[in-house]
């Protein structure tokens, strides 16, 4: 009797793609596939792609080119492209790389088992429509094996904001919120399997409308689940940070004091050109309200430098906003055009100017991140230990502020939340000692 077929998935991009890869693996398990970490032993290779970074499509084509020897050595090997590049490129992928057997967009991967029937008939399978039906409702029930103490859970997809630089509305479609009962059911299953911390995911997660009380209503219901000790969410838009969600940060004990709230620029002129529909002062005022509700909250953000039309004065406004807000973590990038987006037709800022601005911004953000991390020394934090470290007897976990923390502790502490005193701040992590 033949053994299970081997599936290798390479995941690019955000946490939502990590979650999607898990669900695609589960869908394919109904057809006898189990995941492997060895690409050269796989019967199917699936690239789950992201369209956010620069030249994303070309990088996928390059990766596909590197798979040619594996396909030549095993003509039965199935190669698929999923995710946002699949949605954006569609038939072009098959035309440019004939070794690809199937292409599936992020809203259609519930169709994967049926697509295998097409492959068995010798057909190329292509699914890049935006179906009306809820793909999550069609996916198989999640498998039951135990898993690590933290997990992602997608609750919202798509975006209606149409920022001038962003492809998400075109690759993920309109905003869609999963019904509360389905989210709660999946959360309970995760907790039954050992999960103690859940991060709620969405392209615009605080636009969640599956509960009458919005995202805060969902968070409060999740907080009633026994065994679920920590709740986080990402990524948010400033315009959807309502009063109830701000209040939840101050009153819901299970909602962690960490918030990723992208602003992109500190210049109102650039924010308007980006179609962000908020101002720099409006964002700063929002941050003050959030900190009034939860003074110790750690803030994270996103920034784009060199957006078309950005002047020196616009960039200095961004630097001023960063100094005002003080970020504990942030992501910053040079603008790169995405085909089909409004900003792609505009004249770019010269690359040498964008590079110099990015270097200055990242230096300031790194300085702030380091200062906030150093300020943790001497404090006691609650750490959810997730895995063993590189050194014998060392465990690694996350504090409530999402700082990586390592400490000497017995292995039976994995999956436990322990009080840890921080004794040293090192590069990108904190060193601690167990208390008690």
Which residue ranges make up the annotated binding site for [4Fe-4S] cluster? Answer: 14, 50, 84, 159, 163, 166
Cα–Cα distance for residue pair 70/42, rounded to 1 Å: 9
Q: Token pair of 184, please?
A: 């709660």
Token pair for residue 365?
Answer: 């953000």
| End-to-end Cα, the chain, rounded Å | 54
User: Which among 175, 16, 28 has a CA at the least distance from the CA of 106?
Assistant: 16
Neighbours of 64 (CB within 10 A): 20
Helix (H, G, I), strand (E, B) or coil at 192: helix
What is residue 34's three-state secondary structure? strand
- Residues 128 and 33: their CA atoms lie apart, in Å, by 23
Ranges assigned E (strand) in 107-224: 125-127, 150-154, 156-157, 176-177, 197-201
Q: How far apart are CA 286 and CA 59, in angstroms?
A: 38
Inter-CA distances, 176 with 74, 106, 134, 149, 350, Å: 40, 13, 9, 27, 38
Annotated binding-site ranges? 14, 50, 84, 159, 163, 166
CA 53/CA 347 separation, integer angstroms: 19
């Amino acid at each position: 009797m033949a053994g299970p077929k081997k599936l290798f998935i390479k995941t690019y991009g955000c946490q939502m793609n990590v979650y999607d890869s898990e669900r695609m693996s589960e869908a394919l398990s109904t057809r006898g596939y189990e995941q492997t970490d060895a690409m050269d032993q796989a019967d199917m290779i699936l690239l789950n792609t992201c369209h956010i970074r620069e030249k994303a499509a070309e990088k996928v084509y390059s990766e596909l080119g590197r798979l040619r020897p594996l396909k030549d050595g095993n003509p039965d090997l199935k190669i698929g492209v999923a995710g946002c590049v699949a949605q954006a490129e569609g038939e072009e992928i098959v035309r440019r790389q004939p070794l690809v057997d199937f292409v599936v967009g992020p809203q259609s991967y519930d169709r994967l088992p049926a697509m295998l029937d097409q492959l068995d008939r010798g057909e190329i399978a292509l699914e890049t429509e935006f179906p009306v039906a809820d793909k999550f409702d069609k996916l198989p029930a999640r498998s039951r094996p135990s898993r690590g103490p933290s997990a992602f859970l997608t609750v919202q997809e798509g975006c209606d904001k149409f920022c001038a630089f962003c492809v998400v509305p075109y690759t993920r479609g309109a905003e869609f919120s999963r019904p509360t009962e389905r989210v709660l059911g999946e959360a309970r299953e995760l907790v039954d399997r050992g999960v103690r911390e859940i991060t709620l995911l969405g392209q615009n997660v605080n636009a969640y409308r599956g509960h009458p009380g919005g995202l805060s209503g969902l968070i409060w219901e999740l907080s009633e689940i026994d065994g679920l000790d920590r709740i986080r969410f990402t990524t948010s838009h400033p315009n959807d940070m309502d009063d109830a969600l701000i209040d939840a940060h101050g009153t819901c004990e299970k909602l962690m004091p960490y918030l990723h709230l992208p602003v992109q620029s500190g210049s109102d002129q650039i924010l308007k050109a980006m179609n962000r529909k908020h101002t720099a002062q409006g964002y700063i005022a929002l941050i003050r309200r959030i900190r009034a509700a939860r003074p110790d909250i750690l803030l994270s953000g996103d920034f784009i430098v060199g957006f078309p039309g950005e002047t020196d004065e616009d960039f200095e406004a961004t630097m001023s906003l960063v100094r005002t807000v003080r970020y504990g973590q942030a992501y910053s990038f040079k603008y790169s055009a995405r085909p089909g987006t409004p900003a792609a037709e505009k004249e770019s800022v010269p690359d040498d100017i964008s590079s110099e601005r990015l270097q200055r911004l990242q230096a300031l953000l790194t300085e702030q991140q380091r200062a906030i991390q150093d300020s943790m020394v001497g404090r006691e934090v609650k750490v959810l230990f997730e895995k063993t470290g590189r050194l014998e007897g060392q465990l690694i976990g996350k504090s409530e502020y999402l700082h990586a923390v390592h400490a000497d502790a017995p292995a039976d502490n994995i999956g436990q939340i322990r009080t840890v005193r921080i004794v040293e701040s090192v590069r990108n992590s904190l060193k601690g000692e167990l208390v008690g």
